[in-house]
A and B are shown apart, each in its own frame.
Chain A
Amino acid sequence: MDVNLVPLLPAVQVLVTALVVTLRDLFIKDGESRGVLAFYSLVGLGLAAAEVFFLLGGRQEGAFNDSYMLDRFALFFALIFILAAALTILSAIDYVRQTGMREGEFYALILFATVGMIVMAAANDLMVFFLGLETMSIAVYVLTGMWRSNGRSSEAAMKYFLMGAFATGFLLYGIALIYGATGSTNLAQISAYLLDQPSEWPVYLIGGGFLLLIGFAFKVGAVPFHFWVPDVYEGAPTPVTGFMSVAVKAAAFAAWARILLYKLSPLDNDWVFPLWIIAIATMTLGNLLAITQHSIKRMLAYSSIAHAGYLLIPIVVGVEWGGLPLLFYLLAYSFMTLGAFAVLTSMTEGDESKDGYSDFAGLGFKRPFLALAMALFMLSLAGFPPLAGFTGKFYVFRSAVLSGHLNLAIIGVLNSLLSVIFYLRVIVAMYMEEGGAAGKSFRQAPFVYIAVAIALLGTIYLGILPADALDWSRRAFGSLE
């Protein structure tokens, strides 16, 4: 067999960084500053990003009997994960100190989760995919429960763990059935089998595909498998919520795109209709429930469900039209959501989160930059031009129209209009109301500002000059061939 370790480089880089952070943490005495750990993490992520760019220039190839393919698609997602991890760590530095969580393990677990995500996106074998998924999930379960003095954090961790274990069961059973039908866990061989004997598939192969579908729907929080999302997102420490709603979702969509949308695409006749229903239900229910929320964090949780619905449109649309909008929208979504959660993270007072609408009242005058950034993130999430969210939605709805799913595009647009209600409410609170609790004793948190600024730049850049990113998304999805 060929031993080619080069494609493992970015994942191993992040893994080594995580190990260094874990070990270095042991040599820092209690009470001393642990800022150096965040610095190590960011340097490690920066190196990993540099390696991704280096590999983008070279020839992308598989490793370990093609069970691991670091193609452009995987590299694209690796960059999203690295970006999400870096922005999460940046915005968490002050938060972790204020809430008294264990700093070293916090950064290390973010990095470990990132390793799992990179493996998931590059996995060309169902077994490798599953192990990557579990590495990511276990790290995120623990991150959710890391704020141990807060009961809701522990509750969220327990719920997430039980629901996640349930979803894992579906995925694993689906993988077992597909292995039973095709005799391989390698996606290339499964795909070859499907093309080799068209439409003479045993029932349990299709059943296995459906179980995978349910497992993925759980992981991205699509209706009707969404009920864990609001409680978990609300209870988790705010930076972790941002990380979950961007990186974990992107990782699940990466695996979904590679495995179900692409490699198992001969089977998709059977699941286009159920997916169509899931997409519409996810968008509509997410937006409707988001309107009724009083906490911005919870509103963002429902908004993240709604965005999972928009992201399902390209998946319903299929390989031919769906690839580019899916990848581009995920990139745009990453910037605006990470930014919104970074602002929300800065609204912590002592060890208490201030995330109600009333806490944001008057923020526009107390913290002009943060409020302006938050306003732009909200507008972008709602899909106003010329921001990233608009460009992303434009290509998503365009793909639906071009492929003949006009109804999906119409429902998507109506949902976007609906979402304006609750996104604008944040802006109204910040600029037209007075006397919020947060912001008074709010400390200067320089790192949060850096994270917000990066996310803001990305949101505006992708909105005004999307050509490079679009081209990049197209080529990334094209590399799955």
Chain B
Amino acid sequence: MDTASFIFYLLATLLVIASLLVVFLRNVVHCAMALVTALLLIAVMFVTLHAPMLCVLQVMVYAGAIMVLFLFVIMFLNPGALEQQRGLWWGFGTLLAMMLAGVLVPLVATSDLPADPVAATELFGSPEMLAKSLFSDYVLPFEIASVLLLVAIIGAVVLAKREN
């Protein structure tokens, strides 16, 4: 086994363990922490796949922004009252997970992916490539997205500002 595969299997094992912890830990804050670990491990996996840009985005967006949102909501809802309960929802969740597995496993198994890894071009996944694409082919969506964010900010201020 070469080094790359060794690192992959190591990361994959840790990732599975972290994901299982998200599901099986009882304290919600601990679950959130396990989720951060899982997301960071995915970020490391992107590095081993030579996609540094995706790694940085993964850390910033998922391990950063989205997790902060998660934790905020948990704090608001009083974590003590949120001990996981394994009732009806547990069964429902298991059912959904099995359905997803039932779709994904055959899909991956039957897809005709090349057997050997294909080497990526040097610039693939780099910030330069992303920026070039963002500011040429996708410059219009990029600009509209900025309008969208402005509207969202103004809207948030309008709805949240204290009345005089």
Contact = CB atoms under 8 A, between A and B. Distances in A.
Bound pair (A, B)? yes
A149 B163 CA distance: 9
A108 B141 CA distance: 21
Contacts of B145: 131
Count chain A CB atoms within 10 A of each CB in B147, B152, B159 and give the residue with the most. Answer: B147
B155 A142 contact: yes
B159 to A, nearest CB: 6
Given A108-B154, A135-B151, A139-B155, A1 B141 contact: no
Contacts of B155: 109, 138-139, 141-142
Given A1-B136, A15-B147, A142-B158, A127 B141 contact: yes
B147 A128 contact: no
B151 A127 contact: no
A62 B140 CA distance: 12
Interface stretch (A48-56, A63-71, A85-93): A63-71
A320 interface: no
A105 interface: yes
Contacts of B154: 22, 105, 108-109, 112, 142
Given A1-B137, A68-B140, A148-B163, A138 B148 contact: yes
A67 B158 contact: no
A144 B134 CA distance: 33
B152 A138 contact: yes
Interface in B89-125: none
Nearest to B156: A142
Contacts of B159: 142, 145-146, 148, 157
Contact of B147 (A30, A63, A115): A115
A157 B164 CA distance: 22
Contacts of A145: 159
Interface string A111-146: 010011001000001011001101100110110011
Contacts of A63: 140
B137 A65 contact: yes
B137 A30 contact: no
Contacts of A64: 139-140
Interface string A145-174: 110110000000100000000000000000
Interface string A39-77: 000000000000000000000000111011000000000
Contacts, number: 65
Contacts of B138: 127
B144 interface: yes
Interface residues of A, number: 33
A127 B141 CA distance: 7
Nearest to A141: B155
A457 to B, nearest CB: 32
Nearest to A154: B159
A109 B147 contact: no
A379 B157 CA distance: 42
Count chain A CB atoms within 10 A of each CB in B136, B139, B141 and give the residue with the most. Answer: B141
A105 B147 contact: no
Nearest to A63: B140
A145 B160 CA distance: 11
Nearest to B163: A148
A294 interface: no
A15 B137 CA distance: 22
Given A64-B139, A109-B158, A142-B158, A132 B144 contact: yes
A159 B140 CA distance: 31
Nearest to A185: B141
A362 to B, nearest CB: 36
A425 interface: no
A109 B151 contact: yes
B139 A138 contact: no
A367 interface: no
A102 interface: yes
Given A30-B164, A65-B137, A68-B140, A134 B148 contact: yes
A93 B155 CA distance: 20
Given A127-B141, A128-B140, 17 more contacts: A15-B147, A64-B139, A67-B141, A102-B158, A105-B154, A109-B154, A112-B147, A112-B150, A116-B151, A131-B144, A131-B145, A134-B148, A138-B155, A142-B151, A142-B154, A142-B158, A146-B158
Interface of A: 1, 15, 22, 30, 63-65, 67-68, 102, 105, 108-109, 112, 115-116, 119, 125, 127-128, 131-132, 134-135, 138-139, 141-142, 145-146, 148-149, 157
13 contacts: A1-B136, A67-B141, A102-B158, A105-B157, A108-B154, A109-B155, A115-B147, A128-B141, A134-B148, A142-B151, A146-B158, A148-B159, A149-B163
- The 10 A-B pairs at the shortest CB distance, nearest first, are namely A142-B155, A131-B144, A64-B140, A135-B148, A105-B158, A112-B151, A127-B141, A139-B151, A138-B151, A138-B152
